[in-house]
Amino acid sequence: MSLIKTDREVELIKASCKIVANVLKYIKDFVKEGITTLELDDLIENFIVSEGGYPAFKGYGKGKNKFPTSSCISINEEVVHGIPCSRKLINGDIVSIDVGVVKDGYYGDAAYTFEVGEVSLKKKRLLQITKESLYRGISQARDGNLLNDIASAIQDYVEGSGYGVVRDLCGHGIGSNLHEEPAVLNYYNPKNRFKLVKGMTIAIEPMINYGTYAIKTLKDGWTTVTKDNEPSAHFEHTILITDGEPEILTKSFY
């Protein structure tokens, strides 16, 4: 497995990313009060399969506790990896939907945090800051830059705005595996000297908490929540490093 992708590999990754972008655009109209997260997951799986892909998260993991559904749907204080179930969305929720697709052996991955009905200004600002931090990180995803350039752009903006950057989870390389090297942190690490090179594909995904960065995992072994029970937001794109502007492979309505 090479971190620098061939032209053929890039085309295969783009095909999976196109499905990811389209399914997030498709599901947007269904994220409304009264629908269950499992109903959303069924819609997502059916869309992915209809496009010739397979939901990359379904069955992911080691041992007996593999992820059981096709998408991660996380509400309010749930940071990531929420398991779709019979829970109904209610007015004022924020809902992160994270989708991965594999097609012809190559992966795409992206996430978006949606608003349900009338959302508080507190949550709206959290979403705005998180989305902006993603694009500030993407702007640094350039040939010759360091991963720390991405991390610093995200951390400086988020912490300067008064929010917490999750440290126990991060973005990742992506290609013929859903999760590849390098680990794409959202905070500066002085020991990380990894340099970006044209042809690499990475998923950048800031997970930002309204309160502190501290998180914990629930008894289901997957769902991660904020320790202080404050809301969290999550946005993600898969990116291709080029010799110029970074290319967003999961570009959709956001």
Tell me what pLDDT residue 253 has.
86
Please state the pTM of the whole predicted model.
0.97
Locate tokens 């595996």: which residue? 177
Tell me what pLDDT residue 178 has.
98
Whether 166 contacts 79, CB under 8 Å: yes
Phi-psi region of 61 (alpha: psi -120 to 50; beta: other; left: phi over 0): left
Nearest to 222 by CA among 114, 113, 65, 101: 65
Query: In this structure, how many other beta carbons lie within 10 angstroms of the beta carbon of residue 93?
Result: 19
CA atoms within 13 A on the CB side of 172: 16
* Identity of the residue numbered 155: Q
Locate tokens 């490093």: which residue? 241
Whether 77 contacts 229, CB under 8 Å: yes
pLDDT in tens, 57-103: 999 998 899 999 999 999 999 999 999 999 999 999 999 999 999 99
Tell me what pLDDT residue 169 has.
98
Rounded to whole angstroms, the Cα distance separating 105 from 98 reads 19
pLDDT in tens, 94-115: 999 999 999 999 999 999 999 9
Locate tokens 């995904």: which residue? 205
pLDDT in tens, 186-215: 999 999 999 999 999 999 999 999 999 999
Tell me what pLDDT residue 186 has.
98
Tell me what pLDDT residue 176 has.
98
Whether 93 contacts 82, CB under 8 Å: no
Instruction: Please determine, for residue 1, whether its predicted confidence score (pLDDT) is greater than 80.
Output: no
Tell me what pLDDT residue 254 has.
85
Instruction: Please determine, for residue 243, whether its predicted confidence score (pLDDT) is greater than 80.
Output: yes
Tell me what pLDDT residue 2 has.
84
| Mean per-residue pLDDT over the chain, rounded | 97
Whether 215 contacts 36, CB under 8 Å: no
Domains in the chain, CATH or no CATH each: 7-248 (3.90.230.10)
pLDDT in tens, 125-162: 999 999 999 999 999 999 999 999 999 999 999 999 99
Element (H, E) at 115: strand 106-115
